[in-house]
A and B are shown apart, each in its own frame.
Chain A
Amino acid sequence: MRQVENLRRRLGFAVLFVTHDMSVVSHFSDRLAVMYAGEFMEIGGTRTVFDQPRHPYSLGLMDAFPSLVGARRELVGIPGNPPSLVSPPTGCLFAARCPSVTEECRLHRPELVDLDGHATRCHLVNPRRSDD
């Protein structure tokens, strides 16, 4: 696990546990947490998060990895840069880069909401009740 932690440090703060040592990851983790700007954006079963990501950041990440299989195609990843951690934005930390951003996202920081053991921090996935 220390090795995984080292990898996380080495790869930076936003890490999908994809390392060249997949066996270590699957060995130590059957759950996967996707972090962005220091916050957990999505947590769930490793395979579930890979196969059915819900958070827009996780979706973007899936399009940020070149692959050895299939045709070589142009990837765009996630345009933009992570927010400043010194003066983070008020609302969702991913708002500045999110293709699905709404006014509400800029105003309110979403909570991490657990549905069926798969938790996501996003207003799109977990709409706020109007009486909040």
Chain B
Amino acid sequence: MTEPILRVEGMSRHFQVGGLRSAGVLHASDDITFDVLPGEIVALVGESGSGKSTIARVLAGLYPPTSGRIVFEGRTLGKTSSRAVRGKMPMVFQDPFGSINPVLRVGHALQRSLRLHRPDLDSRGRLAEAVSLVEKVGLLPGEEVIRRFPHELSGGQRQRLGFAQALASRPSLILADEPVSMLDVSIRIGLLNVMRDLRSEGVSLLYITHDLASARYVADRMIVLYAGRIVEEGRTEDLITRPAHPYTRLLMATAPDPRLPLASDADVEDLGEPPRVINPGPGCRFAPRCPLAMDRCREATPEFVQITPLQRAACFAAEEST
């Protein structure tokens, strides 16, 4: 079996919230376990507030997990990850200015990180590599683009630059947190194509999104989050054609698609947002919204059941039907 690039094992991240009298512990993510294989694109999908960014920030070393462990390229990450590790697992943010330096010319910023991460290159090699990086993400002509300042680029071009910047450190895994959600719909697809093309660079990608359809478009495998927990995981096409968890089915039913007839109000109820999980008791967190909820769903937390060797869902109803 191929060794995973990244293994997340039982990772939880909690936050203290509230004042003295109303203090509580918010469970932003609980018991998160998954792998990413070399060259694989994995999508982490969930509504706003489901805990996606928390997972990304823990992986990027922005803050430590409350419990659990993260194994990256065979090594357990410590409390703070070194600059070398961050270079191997860079993050592209929703706002492109999260990953690029606004005051440096494009080429200058790229050559700066090449100096750090590519000791094998001399200054001419760095210049050539900077040109090649921007061209890889579709910014053409490269020689001209590297002379620009980030503010001279459009939002879509800046986000492409975010990926070029991430590629400069020769990463094994890029973390992309909602990288297209601030972009005009007409240019989103171009950026999704850039992400798909990362496969040919041998880089893995963790694509974090609330948009199931774009996840299907880019990802080999999907992980669905609800209220801080993974509820289902599987190969993209298996999950889309045979979702086993009621929440995945709800997400699919409410996904926008201009090609389909508009759903009537009766078909689609307001999704709302996942609850903020403070001092949770046992039970399935989806139970209040689940059409299949049974008594046992409110008493115990469902464990994963294997639907197929490559698909698992945390649901009592799925367990009873397998």
Task: Say yes or no: is A4 at the interface (Cβ < 8 Å to chain B).
Answer: no
- Further 12 A-B residue pairs, CB within 8 A, beyond A24-B270, A68-B252: A12-B184, A22-B268, A23-B263, A61-B185, A61-B258, A64-B186, A64-B189, A66-B216, A68-B255, A72-B217, A78-B187, A82-B184
Flag if B271 contacts A21 (CB, 8 Å): yes
**A72-B237, A76-B189 known; A66-B214 Cβ under 8 A:** yes
In this complex, the member of A47, A63, A64 whose beta carbon has the largest number of chain B beta carbons within 10 angstroms is A64
**A22-B263, A64-B185 known; A82-B154 Cβ under 8 A:** yes
Task: Say yes or no: is A90 at the interface (Cβ < 8 Å to chain B).
Answer: no
Task: Say yes or no: is A130 at the interface (Cβ < 8 Å to chain B).
Answer: no
Interface range on chain A (Cβ under 8 Å from partner) = 35 or more
A98 to chain B, nearest CB (A): 12
Q: Which residues A13-72 have CB closer than 8 A to chain B?
A: 13-16, 18-27, 36, 46-47, 50, 57, 60-69, 72
B220 to chain A, nearest CB (A): 11
Question: What are 24 A-B contacts defined by CB distance under 8 Å?
Answer: A12-B182, A14-B184, A18-B256, A19-B256, A20-B254, A20-B256, A23-B265, A60-B186, A61-B186, A63-B189, A64-B186, A64-B188, A65-B258, A67-B259, A68-B240, A69-B259, A75-B189, A75-B193, A76-B189, A76-B193, A77-B186, A81-B154, A81-B156, A81-B187
Flag if A23 contacts B156 (CB, 8 Å): no
Cβ contact of B157, chosen from A24, A74, A81, cutoff 8 A: A81
Residues on B with C-beta less than 8 A from A82 are 154, 184, 186-187
State the interface size on chain B (CB cutoff 8 A).
Answer: 41
Bound CA span A21–B265, Å: 10
Residues on B with C-beta less than 8 A from A27 are 265
**A16-B258, A21-B270, A47-B262 known; A66-B189 Cβ under 8 A:** yes
Task: Say yes or no: is B8 at the interface (Cβ < 8 Å to chain A).
Answer: no
Contact pattern, B 164-195, Cβ under 8 Å of A = 1, otherwise 0: 00000000000000000011111111101100
Q: Which residues B140-173 have CB closer than 8 A to chain A?
A: 154-157
Task: Say yes or no: is B279 at the interface (Cβ < 8 Å to chain A).
Answer: no
Flag if A79 contacts B190 (CB, 8 Å): yes
Task: Say yes or no: is A107 at the interface (Cβ < 8 Å to chain B).
Answer: no
Residues on B with C-beta less than 8 A from A72 are 216-217, 237
